[in-house]
């Protein structure tokens, strides 16, 4: 069910401030695409515009086109709620619902999408999603405990389980490993490699090795100066970006000679 994403001439605003300018990119289905770049260059902003989460911020808006399998996400007849049901998101800070049990967290999205499901089907879904997120063994004995009682890394994997439980077509991840130890990070990277058979994955990361390890394509965002909009400077296969990038700025950034 993975889908291809075509972005053309995308400008993204917070009120009058243009945060991202002129993005043109084509994201391949069934692959992992990494977005890298210095802090504040608009990676999160761009990512959030792919599932219309950007506009939940007051005053935030988008100009340009995002087309997923032929459908314009920002078409006037498109309900953002439907978009978000098809495009899952994992945030930088783990955000399981603190008032829900682990079990209820995993099925939260499913309950929204399809209200009626047999208990046994739900149980199976919880198990398969938690296994998919590499969390099952750690929580299988306490599914009725609050999700906020888990460690940070476990919470993040719970959020991944919650996102994949609804079988989205695209999975967006904003620095999903930034709060995790190396072992949990590796677990999540393995998970991405597994998941890309079924999903289109876009991940924002500050970790170059991670981008090199998990992604097929890499996009480099940069900005010319404070107050300037961020731009997608280069988008190429990951190997090329990390061996001989087209742009000098990319090379500088990757080799740490930045700024």
Ligand X SMILES: Nc1ncnc2c1ncn2[C@@H]1O[C@H](COP(=O)(O)OP(=O)(O)OP(=O)(O)O)[C@@H](O)[C@H]1O
Which residues contribute to the site for Mg ion (CB under 5 A)? 44
Report the site for another protein in 33-52 (rule: CB under 8 A): 51
Q: Is 53 in the site for another protein (CB under 8 A)?
A: yes
Q: Is 97 in the site for another protein (CB under 8 A)?
A: yes
DSSP letter for each residue of the chain: ----EEEEEEEEEETTEEEEEEEEEEEPSSSEEEEE-STTSSHHHHHHHTTT-GGGSTTEEEEEEEEETTEETT-TT--HHHHHHHEEEE-SS----TTSBHHHHHHHHHHHH-----HHHHHHHHHHHHHHTT-HHHHTT-TTSBGGGS-HHHHHHHHHHHHHHT--SEEEEESTTTTS-HHHHHHHHHHHHHHTTTSEEEEE-S-HHHHHHH-SEEEEEEESSTTSPEEEEEEEEHHHHHHS-SSHHHHHHHTT---
Rounded to a whole number of angstroms, the minimum distance from the CB of residue 119 to another protein is: 20
Stretch that binds another protein, among 91-99, 128-136, 186-194, 240-248 (CB under 8 A): 91-99
Stretch that binds another protein, among 3-11, 16-24, 98-106, 208-216 (CB under 8 A): 98-106
Residue 176 contact partner, candidates ligand X, Mg ion, another protein, none, CB within 5 to 8 A by sort of partner: none
Whose Cβ is closer to ligand X: residue 20's or residue 107's? 20
Residue 99 contact partner, candidates ligand X, another protein, Mg ion, none, CB within 5 to 8 A by sort of partner: another protein
Rounded to a whole number of angstroms, the minimum distance from the CB of residue 129 to another protein is: 13
Q: Site size for another protein, by CB under 8 A?
A: 31
The contact mask relative to another protein for 121-150 (x = CB under 8 A, - = no) is ------------------------xx-xx-
First to last CA, the chain: 41
Is residue 99 exposed (0-12), middle (13-18) or buried (19+ Cβ within 10 Å)?
exposed
Residue 91 contact partner, candidates another protein, ligand X, Mg ion, none, CB within 5 to 8 A by sort of partner: another protein
**Residues in contact with ligand X by the rule CB under 6 A:** 14, 17, 19, 37, 39-45, 57
Q: Round to whole Å and give the CA distance between 152 and 180.
A: 7
Rounded to a whole number of angstroms, the minimum distance from the CB of residue 62 to another protein is: 16
Q: Which residues bind another protein (CB under 8 A)?
A: 51, 53, 56, 81-82, 84-86, 88-89, 91, 93, 95-101, 108-109, 112-113, 145-146, 148-149, 159, 162-163, 166
């Amino acid at each position: 069910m993975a889908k291809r994403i075509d972005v053309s001439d995308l400008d993204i605003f917070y009120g009058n401030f243009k945060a991202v300018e002129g993005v043109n990119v084509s994201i391949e289905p069934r692959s992992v695409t990494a977005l890298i770049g210095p802090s504040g260059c608009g990676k999160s902003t761009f990512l959030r515009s792919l599932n219309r989460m950007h506009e939940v911020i007051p005053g935030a808006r988008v100009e340009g086109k995002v087309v997923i399998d032929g459908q314009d996400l920002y078409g006037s007849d498109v309900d953002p709620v439907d978009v978000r049901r098809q495009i899952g998101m994992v945030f930088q800070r783990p955000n399981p619902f603190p008032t829900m049990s682990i079990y209820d967290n995993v099925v939260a999205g499913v309950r929204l999408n399809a209200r009626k499901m047999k208990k046994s089907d739900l149980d199976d879904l919880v198990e398969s999603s938690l296994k998919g997120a590499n969390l099952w063994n750690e929580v299988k004995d306490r599914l009725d405990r609050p999700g906020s009682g888990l460690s940070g890394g476990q919470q993040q994997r719970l959020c991944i389980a919650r996102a994949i439980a609804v079988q989205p077509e695209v999975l967006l991840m904003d620095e999903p490993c930034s709060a995790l130890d190396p072992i949990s990070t590796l677990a999540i990277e393995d998970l991405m490699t597994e998941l890309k058979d079924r999903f289109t994955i876009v991940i924002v990361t500050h970790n170059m090795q991670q981008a090199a390890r998990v992604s097929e394509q890499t996009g480099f965002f940069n900005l010319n100066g404070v107050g300037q909009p961020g731009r997608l400077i280069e988008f190429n296969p990951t190997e090329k970006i990390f061996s001989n990038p087209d742009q000098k700025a990319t090379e500088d950034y990757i080799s740490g000679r930045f700024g």
